[in-house]
């Protein structure tokens, strides 16, 4: 091969390498351009999506704060009790001769419940009557002696004065009259004392008939025929328990925050689980006028008419007491309350903006809370607000399109 041909081959090889290198560089540049374009397009799409999310307002459910007027109804647990309860003791000692009633019997005031026999009491009465007769005879004797002494002095007095009788006789007559006057006084006092003692025994005789103190029902019996009873309410056992149940009484303790406005005469309704379809109406009859220091509650008594005896003492019940409101109460759904480091709050929607307001809850009614401060009637509060909801956030509060966030 000649030198000329060798030079032409080398030149051809050099041009081919340059062409290949240019192609590789062009391919690399194109790849970089495509990657840069894709990155720019992806970033633009991300920014547009973020802007779209910022422009879309969260939809929230709202409820309106309601103002409630009229009576405040407070429901409290209670137990029924009889209007009056009496344990009937024996006032005369002896053995039970008859028993006319038993547990569950309804009695009238003055009705005989049992009789007691005490033969020794009859003997004591007979002895007291005999003693009284003796003392009355002694009184008559003393009165006769007094009359005799008076007549003697009236006769001897002028004679002593004129000197026909000695002065000693006059002194004896005067002292005898005074002694008889005193004897009459003692005899009369003895008679009165014995008459009083006889009345005590006769009253004990009357106590042998045990009577009901008022209309009611026998709820307990502790004696039977032949039982020995003692006329002592300290060591003795009571014979019967009588409860007056035509009027039922209940006691409830009203909390301090609702006690204002509780006065005698306001309405109350008693509900018994066994009588779901029959509420028992009553009235507040008396209040303690002082709060219990330990519980800050007010003792209230309610009387309920019970003519048919449907209510029995000792029954568990609930009482709805209707307390006149001093101020209208504001009701907020319980789902609108926010509890966080800021305390109790609600989110109120004002012109499409959420505003967090601190509230003071007066009472928890379950699905609603009674709010004392922080909102006003007609405010729209957000139900179940999002955890990240902040003061001043824009929201979509259209109730027609509302859904939980």
Residue 226 counted as domain residue:
no
Q: What is the per-residue pLDDT for 30?
A: 61
Q: What is the per-residue pLDDT for 336?
A: 87
Residue 256 counted as domain residue:
yes
Tell me how many domains the chain contains. 4
Q: Tell me, yes or no, whether 100 and 197 share the same domain.
A: yes
Residue 394 counted as domain residue:
yes
Of the candidates 211, 226, 257, which is a domain's last residue? 211
Q: Tell me, yes or no, whether 94 and 152 share the same domain.
A: yes
Residues of the domain holding 173: 85-211
Residue 175 counted as domain residue:
yes
Q: Tell me, yes or no, whether 138 and 159 share the same domain.
A: yes
Of the candidates 324, 355, 383, which is a domain's last residue? 324
Q: Tell me, yes or no, whether 196 and 305 share the same domain.
A: no
d(C-alpha 205, C-alpha 126), whole Å: 12
Tokens of 265: 């005469």
Q: Tell me, yes or no, whether 41 and 99 share the same domain.
A: no
- Cα→Cα distances 123→93, 169, 306, Å: 14, 49, 47
Q: Tell me, yes or no, whether 360 and 388 share the same domain.
A: yes
Greatest alpha-carbon span in the chain: 222
What is the pLDDT tens value at each position of the chain, 405 positions in all?
455 454 555 555 556 666 566 666 666 666 666 666 666 767 767 665 555 455 567 888 888 888 877 778 889 999 999 999 999 998 888 899 999 999 999 999 999 999 999 888 888 889 999 999 999 999 999 989 889 888 888 888 888 787 787 888 888 888 888 898 999 999 999 999 999 999 988 888 888 899 999 999 999 999 999 999 888 767 777 899 999 988 999 999 999 878 888 999 999 999 999 998 899 999 999 999 899 899 999 999 999 999 888 888 999 999 999 988 777 778 889 888 888 887 888 888 888 888 888 888 877 878 888 887 888 888 888 888 888 888 888 888 765 344 443
Of the candidates 160, 194, 211, which is a domain's last residue? 211
CATH code, domain with 352:
2.40.420.20
Q: Is the distance from CB of 223 to CB of 93 less than 8 angstroms? A: no
Residue 76 counted as domain residue:
no
Residue 225 counted as domain residue:
no
Q: Tell me, yes or no, whether 394 and 362 share the same domain.
A: yes
CATH code, domain with 297:
2.40.30.170
Residue 357 counted as domain residue:
yes
């Amino acid at each position: 091969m000649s030198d000329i041909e060798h030079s032409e081959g080398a030149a051809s090889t050099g041009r081919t390498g340059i062409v290949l290198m240019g192609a590789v560089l062009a391919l690399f540049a194109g790849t970089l351009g495509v990657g840069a374009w894709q990155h720019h397009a992806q970033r633009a799409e991300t920014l547009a999506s973020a802007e779209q999310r910022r422009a879309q307002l969260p939809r929230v459910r709202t409820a309106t704060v309601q103002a409630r007027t009229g009576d405040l109804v407070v429901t409290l647990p209670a137990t029924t009790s009889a209007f009056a309860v009496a344990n009937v003791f024996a006032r005369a000692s002896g053995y039970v001769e008859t028993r006319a009633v038993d547990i569950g019997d309804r009695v009238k005031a003055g009705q005989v419940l049992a009789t007691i026999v005490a033969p020794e009491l009859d003997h004591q009465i007979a002895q007291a009557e005999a003693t009284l007769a003796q003392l009355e005879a002694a009184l008559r004797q003393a009165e006769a002696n007094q009359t005799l002494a008076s007549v003697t002095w009236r006769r001897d007095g002028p004679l002593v004065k004129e000197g026909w009788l000695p002065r000693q006789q006059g002194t004896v007559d005067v002292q005898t009259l005074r002694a008889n006057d005193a004897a009459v006084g003692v005899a009369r006092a003895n008679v009165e004392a014995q008459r009083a003692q006889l009345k005590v025994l006769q009253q004990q005789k009357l106590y042998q008939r045990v009577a009901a103190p008022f209309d009611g029902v026998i709820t307990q019996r502790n004696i039977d025929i032949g039982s020995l009873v003692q006329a002592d309410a300290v060591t003795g056992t009571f014979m019967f328990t009588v409860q007056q149940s035509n009027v039922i009484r209940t006691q409830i303790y009203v909390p301090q925050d609702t006690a204002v406005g509780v006065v005698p005469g306001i309405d109350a309704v008693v509900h018994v689980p066994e009588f779901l379809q029959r509420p028992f109406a009553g009235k507040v009859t008396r209040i303690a006028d002082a709060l219990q220091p330990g519980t800050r509650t007010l003792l209230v008594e309610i009387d309920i008419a019970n003519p048919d005896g449907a209510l029995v003492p000792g029954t568990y019940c609930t009482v709805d007491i209707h307390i006149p409101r001093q101020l209208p109460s504001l009701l907020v759904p319980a789902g609108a309350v926010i509890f966080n480091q800021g305390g109790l709050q609600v989110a109120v929607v004002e012109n499409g903006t959420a505003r967090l307001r601190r509230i003071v809850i007066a009472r928890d009614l379950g699905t609603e809370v009674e709010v004392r401060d922080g909102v006003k009637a007609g405010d729209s509060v957000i139900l179940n607000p999002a955890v990240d909801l902040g003061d001043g956030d824009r929201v979509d509060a259209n109730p027609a399109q509302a859904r939980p966030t």
